Amino acid sequence: MSNQNRMKAVNAVAELHRGKPMAAAPVNLDSYAEDVFNTDCMREYLSKSVCKKLLATITKGEALDPAIADDVAHAIKHWALERGATHYTHWFQPLTGSTAEKHDAFLEPEGAKAIMSFSGKNLIVGEPDASSFPSGGLRSTFEARGYTAWDPTSPAFIKRHENGATLCIPTAFCSYTGEALDKKTPLLRSMQALSISTKRLMKCFGLPEERVTITLGPEQEYFLIDKHFYLQRPDLVQTGRTVFGATPPKHQQLEDHYFGSIKGRILAFMTEVEQELWKLGIPAKTRHNEVAPAQFELAPMFEELNLACDHNMLVMEVLRQVADRHGLVCLLHEKPFAGINGSGKHNNWSVSYGNKNLLNPGNDPHQNAIFLSVLSAIIEAVDLHADMLRASVTGAGNDHRLGANEAPPAIISMYLGDQLADVIDQLEKGTPTSSRQPGAMKIGADTLPPLPRDATDRNRTSPFAFTGNKFEFRAPGSSQSCSGPNTILNTIVAEAFDRMSEVLEKLKKSEFNAGLQKHLQGIIKAHKRIIFNGDGYTDAWTKEAKKRGLPNAKTTMDALRCLTKPENVAVLEKYGVYNQRELESRFEVFLEEYHRRIRIEGEIALEIANSIIAPAVAAEYGKAANALSAAQATKLTAGAGTVKATATALGKGLDDLNKNCAALKKALGGMHEEILAAMTDLRGTVDSLEQLVADESWPLPKYREMLFIY
């Protein structure tokens, strides 16, 4: 690789801006959800009786009647063929963190002819090779059988490509022995657990049984760079992040990119992304420039949790595919560039009972009591299981992001805002001490002070923040599936709801309000340590959190250990979300993935340093040495000292480069801590050399080019 290639890349991008900009696709709202077999399609393609039974499964959780499988399959096939599909696939989410699909043609030979066939069995179950996906020991090469099972609560959809279309059927993925091998199955189990526990708690308040709806609005952050630059960066191609790169003089410190005017090329990309998502029934709502240069965000409207998780996986896929068509590359790594903001996925979670959002304070004492009970239970859940929440968002990429300038720290805490924190303080003390609300707060007798939707400020440093009618879990990384964190969140809240129900179910009607108030006071007193409304980035908070006894798992290795703690295993087993083998498998899979990613990063850093950086620095050193020799031969003194200083600095840098490469090579035979330390030392040397070597001789695209030329 030479600087000539780098400058060709710069010129190629510049040429794009001299030409006619790519036009944005016209908006067509009639195309919304046209590639989704949704409720309207069911009513059109199914008989009334079959449609009624299928909708009962989807909306009420009733068991699927196997007698309707062939009718549903025939209808979906007919619908898909009309839209150009030639193949179908069971679309699932293995423990790789991405999605998987194996395409089968509808075609079936029938004598000398062929027909398009799709049976109920094809719809309901598939059989991919389970041993080729990460399983943490649940499956071995000689135990290959696994199954995909149709998830009717997430509608089938069409994925289009240049030469056709494929029918995608969302499915769960399990082993021959029944253990979950995917991210969807535990999520569905946790949703069921929380639904049961919520109904139980609401019954304590005398409410009739209603449907429980868990909703999610995941905000997706990402970077875009031009493909010409990407292809000149082996580290980005191999790992998704830059292992080398000096921070440019201007990056995000002027705060001029956030919410700034969107460039035409990027706007064309965003518009096409939205059109693709809308066809898939994904309600993409918001788009904007993020804080870092070349960083952007897409936010959808809230949807039911399972569907929202599926849709977010599709959002990431569409972002990558559309970027490619626009000559761009979408980077979803949590920290693609050092020294500037990384990318997260803000997990906006809430629970509704019937048409009532349980995280929205009501207008009467009864509703207030329910809100405060739900809030207190969540406080208890997060405090008791902060370690599991932290483990649910761990990974090599997120280790670079958590605790940096744009992300919450690894210490899990809760932000409530001043007004709600004062309400909680009143609730705990039960005395008229509040300056905001006069008089003692009594559950079931007094209403809360008005809490409008924006009753709280926003705290970007809080991992788990109440934002008016939902909780925003800000710790998940941009590349991660939403299923993992929400599986844990649902389960620990279900446990807290049940613990509260056990107390309330024993109370007589006449003593209910007083007993509830006493119980909530006990929860707040025991678990208020998790509430923190201040700046999570300060050293003072780290010290205070330690004093409070809050866990601080700074790295993946620290965070993962909690998955096999007996008390955590017991909770997840109790609610049928994971069994012990499944948890042990996750621990093994995530641990192995972490080690592999670190090793890959170390190996590509060594390769780039040896085969790309070292030759460029040696050539530059040779030029400086030759210039110094020429000056000495001609007895020139002017400038000779400067040339000598440059040659000396380059020579020392070359020696340091060689020494650090040798250290990294040795570290690659050891543990991950050694690899990370050696990579850090090597990066320091390479980034210093980038600022020393003549610009015309540096072989890799620089930050100032990748982040600003697009």
10 found inside a domain: no
Q: How far apart are CA 84 and CA 664, in angstroms?
A: 52
Please state, in angstroms and rounded to a whole number, the distance separating the CA atoms of residues 593 and 563. Answer: 15
Contacts of 567 (CB under 8 A, 6+ apart): none
Residues 473 and 564 in one domain: yes
In a domain, 5, yes or no: no
Q: By percentage, how much of the chain surpasses pLDDT 70?
A: 93
Residues 252 and 384 in one domain: yes
Q: How many angstroms separate the CA atoms of 106 and 77, rounded?
A: 8
Q: Domain range for residue 128? A: 31-181
User: How many whole angstroms separate alpha carbon 499 and alpha carbon 473?
Assistant: 23
Confidence of residue 704 (pLDDT cuts 50, 70, 90): very high
User: CATH code at 366?
Assistant: 3.30.590.10
Query: Based on the structure, what is the number of domains in the chain?
Result: 3
- Is there a single domain that holds both residue 623 and residue 690? yes
DSSP characters over 435-501:
SSS-S---TTTSPPPP--TT-S---TT-SEEE-SSSEEE--SBTTS-SHHHHHHHHHHHHHHHHHHH
Residue 9: pLDDT band (50, 70, 90) is confident
Helix (H) or strand (E) holding 148: strand 146-150
Within 13 Å, how many C-alpha atoms sit on residue 315's CB side? 32
Same domain, 162 and 302: no
Among candidate residues 157, 238, 315, 329, the one with its CA nearest the CA of residue 596: 238
13 in a domain, yes or no? no
* Same domain for 252 and 175: no
DSSP-derived 3-state class of residue 47: coil
What are the helix (H) ranges across 609-639?
614-633
Is residue 27 pLDDT above 70, yes or no?
no
All residues at 6 or more sequence positions from 386 whose CB lies less than 8 Å from its CB, including other chains: 412, 413, 530, 550, 551
Distance CA 288, CA 684 (A): 33
Say what the pLDDT of residue 434 is. Answer: 47
Check: CB of residue 416 under 8 Å from CB of residue 590.
no
- The mean per-residue pLDDT over the stretch 636-663 comes to 93
Share of the chain above pLDDT 90, in %: 74
pLDDT value at position 431? 59
Neighbours of 387 (CB within 10 A): 21
The vertex-684 CA angle with 678 and 685, nearest 5°, equals 95
H and E: helices and strands count for the chain: 24, 18
- The verdict on 239 and 374 lying in the same domain is yes
Q: Compare 112 and 230 and report the one with higher pLDDT.
A: 230
Contacts of 260 (CB under 8 A, 6+ apart): 289
Give the CATH number for residue 700. Answer: 1.20.120.1560
* CB hemisphere CA count around 406 (13 angstroms): 27
- Mark whether 134 and 194 lie in a shared domain: no
Query: Per-residue pLDDT averaged across 555-562, rounded?
Result: 93
Residue type, 479: S
Give pTM, 2 decimals: 0.93
Going by C-alpha positions, the residue among 598, 359, 590 that lies closest to residue 481 is 590
pLDDT digit string (tens) for 458-515? Answer: 666 789 999 888 999 999 999 999 999 999 999 999 999 999 999 999 999 999 999 9
Q: Do 424 and 510 lie in a common domain?
A: yes
In order, the DSSP letters of 667-684 are HTTS-HHHHHHHHHHHHH
Average pLDDT over residues 338-342: 93
Would you say residue 465 lies in a domain? yes
Q: Is residue 586 part of a domain?
A: no
